Amino acid sequence: MLQLYEKQDKKHGAEGTFIWLVEEIGELSEALRKKDKENISEEIADVLAWLLSLGNVMGIDVSDSFKEKYDSICPSCHKKPCNCNK
């Protein structure tokens, strides 16, 4: 995402990028309500793309952040697999 969209994402800034992310989440919600599996797949990809872009704008490596929090055990119950009652 950084190599593909760094210039555009910097123009959007964190707030603009977040607004695009929220729009895509709304589109995903609509696809889920319609049970449109093909569109759900596309919207999940769009949400992920904008989330990664937000990380890039903020100077955060989302992959590293994810690994630190979720790589081997549940951050809440500290079990693998998760045994939370949530």
Quick: pLDDT tens for 39-77: 999 999 999 999 999 999 999 999 999 999 998 899 999
- Rounded to two decimals, the pTM is 0.86
Is it the case that residue 36 has pLDDT exceeding 90?
yes
Q: To the nearest whole percent, how much of the chain has pLDDT over 90?
A: 90
Question: Is residue 47 included in any domain, yes or no?
Answer: yes
Q: What is the pLDDT of residue 72?
A: 87
Q: For residue 12, tell me if it sits in a domain.
A: yes
Is 11 a domain residue? yes
Query: Is 55 part of any domain?
Result: yes
Residue 84 CA to residue 72 CA, distance in Å, equals: 15
In a domain? residue 10: yes
Residue 9: domain span: 2-70
Domain-embedded: residue 9 = yes
Find the distance separating the first CA and the last CA of the chain, reported in whole Å. Answer: 33
* CATH code, 57: 1.10.287.1080
Across the chain, mean pLDDT equals 95
User: What is the number of domains present in the chain?
Assistant: 1
**Residue 60 tokens, joined:** 């955060």
In a domain, 15, yes or no: yes
